[in-house]
């Protein structure tokens, strides 16, 4: 949910990787320059290749490191009904880059019709095919265009996640509410689809009580305790959840403002409907995040990691990356992110993306970061590294205010990696212990020209450019 409309200044984040000569370290040999035939050799500033993905058309196939999620919108995307077509036109490139899923904004008709971002839902079954709230299409387009987007994504082996807003509704007509003693905007008997009609008893306060966990923005607060509401949200064959999944073909759910209702709601939805799910629990307390994820039987956005990254990379305090985060508690229920449509506070974003794309959890990339603001080739390189090298548990090897080094320990034959993040203004070098004995490694970002060989005790010296990162793994 858009809590505050942020005024964002487009930052010139030209992320420059530099290189220097190093005594005792030889440049790569012609054999070392050979890269597997399916790897694109995108050239770094000094002419050396780094890995980004496949060179020919290739639908997404999950690598040993898992998948990456694209948030396929931002706040106030252009109106005019063309957003579904815009996203559809990018799916092949996203798939080729190694992105395995796209999260879409709320797709159904909302109170502000063609101008709404969807977080004020009126008719859950109007995807831009009914004339109500001043328009036929939604801000994003028509139902046919949405279905074409989803079909295209599936053809690319990508999943599509729907933004589900079930805390509150908007756009109802006024009716007398005996539980309030005055009129409320809770009459949804005239929704154009004819499905999930609602009245005052489907919203708090009503026969089921005065309130639940939380209301939002003065909107009518949907009552999940009402069996009628439960039946229409997830119970019946044409419920909202089952219709989205079985008819519209969505693969998963991003639940908006889950502070507003109990985690049992998401858990019950998931057990009845199925599919991937992640909740927006805007809370930096990792205990709260873990409690909600366990009780909701769902993933949760790792706001604990989000605020730690801001402190680390913007405030020069990389030691806080030793602190607890949701991905450390349960990486299988942690969705990590650097920015989203609601909040964008991290300035040193490339360092943050290097962090989430090399660590455990399910990393999310924000549309504007990828398509408009940051270096797409660098992001593609990180996506490739995530999908192909970021495997196994995580061991933190070194931290201080300016430097952070961690090792992914590898899994099932995959060697894992070592990530070195340097937030200082000068090149840094460290001896670290790897999982590799007497084997040559290289920096898969192309930033360093070192090709060191690990010692018999697995120790090796690595380096990192200023305000940058390097990511090391076996030279294979």
Catalytic residues: 256, 280
Asked if residues 357 and 337 have their Cβ atoms less than 8 Å apart, the reply is no
In the chain, % helix, strand, coil (3-state, to 5) comes to 25, 25, 50
Report the C-alpha gap between 91 and 449 in whole angstroms: 34
Report the C-alpha gap between 246 and 235 in whole angstroms: 13
Q: Is 231 annotated as a binding residue?
A: yes
3-class DSSP state of 250 = coil
Q: Is 167 annotated as a binding residue?
A: yes
Asked if residues 309 and 281 have their Cβ atoms less than 8 Å apart, the reply is no
Q: Tokens for 357? A: 């794309």
Q: Among 93, 47, 123, which Cα is nearest to 383's?
A: 93
Residue found by looking up tokens 């009716």 in the block: 175
Q: How far is CA 417 from CA 29, 335, 384, 386, 406, in A?
A: 22, 20, 13, 10, 8
Burial label, 178 (beta-carbon count in 10 A; 0-12, 13-18, 19+): exposed
Residue found by looking up tokens 């070195």 in the block: 420
Asked if residues 50 and 34 have their Cβ atoms less than 8 Å apart, the reply is no
Residue found by looking up tokens 């109106």 in the block: 79
Residues making up the binding site = 167, 231, 237
Residues making up the binding site for Ca(2+) = 167, 231, 237
């Amino acid at each position: 949910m858009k809590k505050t409309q942020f005024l964002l200044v487009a930052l010139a984040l030209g992320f420059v990787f530099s290189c220097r000569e190093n005594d005792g370290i030889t440049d790569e040999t012609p054999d070392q320059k050979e890269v597997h035939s399916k790897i694109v050799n995108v050239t770094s500033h000094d002419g050396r290749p780094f890995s980004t993905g496949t060179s020919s058309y290739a639908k997404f196939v999950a690598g040993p490191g898992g998948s990456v999620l694209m948030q396929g919108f931002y706040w106030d995307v252009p109106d005019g009904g063309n957003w579904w077509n815009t996203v559809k036109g990018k799916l092949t490139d996203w798939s080729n880059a190694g992105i395995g899923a796209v999260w879409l904004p709320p797709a159904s008709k909302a109170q502000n019709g063609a101008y709404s971002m969807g977080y004020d839902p009126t008719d859950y079954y109007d995807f831009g095919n009914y004339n109500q709230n001043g328009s036929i299409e939604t801000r994003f387009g028509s139902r046919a265009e949405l279905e074409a987007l989803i079909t295209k994504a599936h053809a690319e082996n990508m999943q599509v996640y729907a933004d589900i807003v079930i805390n509150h509704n908007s756009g109802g007509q006024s009716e007398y509410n005996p539980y309030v003693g005055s009129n409320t905007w809770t009459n949804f008997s005239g929704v154009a689809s004819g499905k999930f009609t609602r009245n005052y008893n489907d919203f708090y306060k009503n026969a089921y009580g005065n309130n639940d966990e939380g209301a939002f923005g003065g909107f009518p607060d949907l009552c999940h305790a009402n069996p009628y509401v439960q039946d229409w949200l997830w119970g019946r064959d044409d419920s909202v959840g089952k219709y989205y999944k079985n008819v519209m073909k969505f693969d998963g759910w991003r639940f908006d403002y889950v502070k507003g209702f109990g985690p049992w709601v998401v858990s019950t939805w998931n057990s009845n409907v199925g599919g991937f799910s992640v909740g927006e629990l805007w809370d930096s307390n990792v205990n709260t995040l873990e409690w909600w994820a366990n009780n909701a039987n769902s993933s949760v956005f790792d706001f604990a990691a989000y605020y730690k990254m801001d402190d680390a990379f913007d405030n020069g305090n990389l030691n806080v990356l030793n602190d607890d985060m949701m991905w450390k508690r349960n990486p299988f229920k942690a969705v990590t992110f650097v920015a989203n449509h609601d909040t964008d506070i991290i300035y040193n974003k490339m360092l943050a993306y290097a962090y989430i794309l090399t660590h455990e959890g399910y990393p999310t990339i924000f549309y504007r970061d990828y398509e408009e603001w940051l270096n797409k080739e660098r992001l593609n390189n990180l996506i490739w590294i995530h999908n192909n090298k970021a495997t196994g548990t995580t061991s933190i090897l070194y931290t201080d205010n300016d430097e952070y080094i961690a090792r992914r320990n590898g899994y099932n034959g995959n060697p894992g990696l070592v990530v070195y993040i340097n937030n200082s203004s000068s090149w840094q070098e460290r001896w670290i212990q790897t999982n590799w004995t007497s084997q040559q490694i290289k920096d898969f970002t192309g930033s360093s020209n070192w090709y060191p060989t690990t010692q018999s005790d697995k120790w090796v010296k690595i380096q990192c450019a200023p305000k940058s990162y390097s990511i090391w793994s076996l030279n294979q």
